[in-house]
Amino acid sequence: MWGFYPRKPVRKAAMAVCAVLAAVACGNGNNGGSSAQVAPPDQQVLRINDGVEPNSFDPGQQTYTYEAAVGRIAFQPLLQPKPDLSDVQPGAAKSFDISSDGMTYTFHLRDNAVWSDGKPVTAKDFVYGWKRLLNPALGAGYVDPFFDGTVAGGQDYSNVDTKDSAAIDKYLAALGLSAPDDHTFVVKLQQAAGYFKWVASLWVGAPIRQDIVEQAAGGPFPSSDATKAEMWANDPKTIVGNGPFKVSEIVPKDHATLVPNNQFYGGAPKLQKIIYYYISDANTAFAKYRTGDLDVLTVATTNVDVVRSDPKLSKQAKLYPTLGTTWFAFNSTKPLLNNPDVRLALAKSIDRNQYANNVLHGTVTPFESFIPKGMPGSDTSDTAQKFDPAAAKALLQKAGVTPAQLSQYKLLTRDATGARTINQFVSNQWQTNLGVNIAIDVIDSKTVTSRIRKGQFDIYGPDGWIADYPDQQDWFDIFTTGSCHNLNWGCPTLPNYDNLVKQADAGKSDSDRNKLYQQAQKLLVDQAAVAFVDQSAEYDLIAPYVQGVQKTPMDDQGVPGDLYMSTIYISKH
């Protein structure tokens, strides 16, 4: 997930981080260990600002966190992350087996899993759901690279004529997806992928009911018809899911309401209603929290100091880590910037403590590495990019490059207040600590996106990534050669990097994979593929009567505890 302007999901806000980045909760006084008395059922209503209206209520068509916040609890995929993110645990599947060659995953579904209308969840529902996801005519945002890059036959995804139903049907029939019986779902892979268990935990890989889809469409329809394929997802009556909650109300441009799915195998949650509001203006949402019209809210950067100085609000503010890292990208196809010593000099001349505390009001933590804390494989022992102006100048001298020569370059900047403020600080740091005058080039966001995709920039930031799942594969593929001008905007040449990542991706043992990824990370840090600057976090306001929040760094932005929403309840107040 790209931060700031996501390729895949996430809206990245300026947020705060715990002093100690734990994998689950960070000193949340609203945790499930509270002895608070539970309020009556009619008061079990949780009101959250989701910020933006979902583009779809079909989990397979969802991409952003404000969509996933609904999709995750209305539908359940095969697996789900453990609270500490150390591994996966059962979801709709009670267990799974991996063949000796790592090429076949066999998922054994729960015997007691049913849909919200009471019908059993079957393996055929997963086959249908995954084929819909991989149907190129539907253009699912999350299919690439997670599904088309792993499921056998998925590699042909981009080559299928989306207007030719026969071609689509032939392609879908050849996918490595099958249901030998009602409780067994088999996925064959293109190659061994030690991380595939995490792909199976993505909410977009939920089952879908073919009979519901076709009934809403008025009967069977060609696989090339994307309009009829989505008619079922527009009406709460036909949004039949297998998650702990179900959609009961959709009010366009205002809110969506979810209520308990009484058919869910996991038992009834205490919350009787969850209302996701779509309030885009941060000040309006903040005002509604202060008047009690919202129970949970992510604090915008502009309101951080207000919250901290308020005796009441400051006690309700919670600091949560996220699995996100921010960096600045260097276009390594440019002369001078293709030299690792030059890039490292620029990286070492940024004071990350000033950046985090003075510019972003302490809403991020300084960071000089790639994989964020709280995630398997995180290692901050490599301090090659540590702030050191003297060492930075020495590196520049070693490279035979003068400050005047580097001053020809510009820092591409999105026309947004936050980006301008951050980049002006970084530009000033290079001037002060390295004597290099790299001006910021402020352009509208749409043009910036176009330019970075074409490699038409010198230095670009703030850039970054937020985990789709807590496995390093989701990160290291960003900087492979094949991702040049796709995810890897700067296209640095990193000897042996591609080979290390390829071996790690295919590895069966997590320990062996981690050793290879660690070598790849050292290349990224030591050769300054990018300049790492911070690990992001989330600064939330949670009303004191909201109890049982089980927060993980994988929760959707602005919805703390949504991976375990069933544990949340409203206490008497």
Degrees (nearest 5) of the Cα angle 423, 425, 428? 110
The HSE-up count of residue 97 (CA atoms within 13 Å, CB side) is 7
Three-state DSSP state, 54: coil
- What is the average per-residue pLDDT within 362-372? 93
Q: Residue 17: its pLDDT value, please?
A: 30
**pLDDT surpassing 50 at residue 370:** yes
Give the helix ranges, DSSP H, for 53-191.
65-74, 123-133, 165-173
Q: Residue 567: its pLDDT value, please?
A: 94
Q: Is the peptide bond before 145 cis (omega within 30 degrees of 0)?
A: yes
At 303, the amino acid letter reads N
**pLDDT surpassing 70 at residue 43:** yes
The domains found in the chain, sorted by start residue, are: 56-235 (3.90.76.10), 323-536 (3.10.105.10)
Q: Residue 313: its pLDDT value, please?
A: 97
CB 278 within 8 A of CB 255: yes
- What is the average per-residue pLDDT within 438-456? 93
Q: Residue 35: its pLDDT value, please?
A: 64
**pLDDT surpassing 50 at residue 13:** no
CB 259 within 8 A of CB 236: no
**Residues 260, 247: Cα–Cα separation, whole Å:** 9
**Residues 377, 472: Cα–Cα separation, whole Å:** 7
Q: Residue 276 pairs with which residues in a beta bridge?
A: 48, 256
The more confident residue out of 416 and 33 is 416
Helix 340-348 to helix 417-434 angle, to the nearest 10 degrees? 110
**Residues 285, 297: Cα–Cα separation, whole Å:** 8
**Residues 463, 419: Cα–Cα separation, whole Å:** 10
| Torsion sign over Cα 213, 218, 220, 224 | negative
DSSP 422: H
**pLDDT surpassing 70 at residue 305:** yes
Helix 417-434 to helix 389-398 angle, to the nearest 10 degrees? 70
- What is the average per-residue pLDDT within 73-81? 96
Q: Residue 301: its pLDDT value, please?
A: 78
Mean per-residue pLDDT of the chain: 91
Residues 6+ apart with CB under 8 A from 435: 393, 403
**Residues 484, 499: Cα–Cα separation, whole Å:** 16
Pull the structure tokens for residue 272.
């009787």
Q: Residue 71: its pLDDT value, please?
A: 96
At 132, the amino acid letter reads R
> What confidence tens digit (pLDDT) does each residue in 113-143 have?
999 999 999 999 999 999 999 999 999 989 9
**pLDDT surpassing 80 at residue 18:** no
> What confidence tens digit (pLDDT) does each residue in 78-127 have?
999 998 888 999 999 999 999 999 999 999 999 999 999 999 999 999 99
CB 528 within 8 A of CB 343: yes
User: Shortest CA distance to 84 belongs to which of 554, 565, 535, 473?
Assistant: 554
Residues 6+ apart with CB under 8 A from 53: 66, 252, 253, 256, 278
User: Shortest CA distance to 229 belongs to which of 252, 245, 212, 248?
Assistant: 212
pLDDT cut 90: percent of the chain above it: 80
CB 530 within 8 A of CB 327: yes
Q: Parallel, antiparallel, or unpaired: how do β-strands 569-570 and 546-547 relate?
A: antiparallel
The more confident residue out of 26 and 323 is 323
> What confidence tens digit (pLDDT) does each residue in 268-301 have?
899 999 999 999 898 999 999 999 999 999 998 7
Q: Residue 379: its pLDDT value, please?
A: 93
> What confidence tens digit (pLDDT) does each residue in 514-542 have?
999 999 999 999 999 999 999 988 899 99
pLDDT tier at 7, thresholds 50, 70, 90? very low
**Residues 569, 566: Cα–Cα separation, whole Å:** 8
Q: Residue 30: its pLDDT value, please?
A: 54
Q: What are phi and psi of 394, to 5 degrees?
A: -65, -40
DSSP 536: E
Length of the chain: 573
The HSE-up count of residue 280 (CA atoms within 13 Å, CB side) is 5
User: Shortest CA distance to 419 belongs to which of 449, 461, 458?
Assistant: 461
**Residues 109, 93: Cα–Cα separation, whole Å:** 4
pTM attached to this predicted model = 0.87
CB 534 within 8 A of CB 365: yes
Q: Residue 29: its pLDDT value, please?
A: 42
CB 18 within 8 A of CB 320: yes
Three-state DSSP state, 396: helix
The more confident residue out of 493 and 361 is 493
Q: Residue 244: its pLDDT value, please?
A: 96
User: Shortest CA distance to 250 belongs to which of 213, 277, 288?
Assistant: 277
| Torsion sign over Cα 295, 298, 299, 302 | negative
**pLDDT surpassing 50 at residue 25:** no
Q: Parallel, antiparallel, or unpaired: how do β-strands 296-298 and 93-98 relate?
A: unpaired
The alpha carbon of 221 is separated from its chain's Cα centroid by a whole number of angstroms, namely: 33
DSSP H/E element including 196: helix 196-199
CB 521 within 8 A of CB 361: no
> What confidence tens digit (pLDDT) does each residue in 339-348 have?
999 999 999 9
**Residues 31, 341: Cα–Cα separation, whole Å:** 47
Q: Residue 329 pairs with which residues in a beta bridge?
A: 460, 530
**pLDDT surpassing 50 at residue 459:** yes
Q: Residue 321: its pLDDT value, please?
A: 79
**pLDDT surpassing 90 at residue 213:** yes
**Residues 53, 267: Cα–Cα separation, whole Å:** 29
